[in-house]
Amino acid sequence: MANYDSSATKNVKKIRVHNVKLLVSKYQNKSEFARLIQVSPEYLYHILAGRRMIADVLARRIEVDLKKSKGWLDIKQ
């Protein structure tokens, strides 16, 4: 079975990283933001570096934790 992403999926992944970077910039440090969204600082670093994707479950949890509307992370801000 081939392992590939559709262009739409790749686009959403890029948008999510972009939006998380915007959110992170509003906090004093990345560790504080990681704690707020319930991930380790290391995992957040990998997300920001593009080494880990932001899965749907994590995306929705970030939106809830930060009081954003559902799907907010999927639309370029």
Q: Is residue 28 part of a domain?
A: yes
d(CA 73, CA 19): 6
d(CA 31, CA 33): 5
What is the tally of structural domains in the chain?
A: 1
Residue 26, domain extent: 8-74
Q: Is residue 24 part of a domain?
A: yes
Q: Which residue has the tokens 């906090």?
A: 27
Q: What is the pTM of this model?
A: 0.86
Residue 54 contacts residue 13 (beta carbons within 8 Å): yes
Residue 3 has pLDDT above 60, yes or no: no
Q: Is residue 56 part of a domain?
A: yes
Task: Convert the pLDDT of each residue in 8-38 to its tens digit.
Answer: 888 999 999 999 999 999 998 999 999 999 9
Give the model's pLDDT for residue 10: 84
Signed CA dihedral, 48, 54, 57, 60: sign only: positive
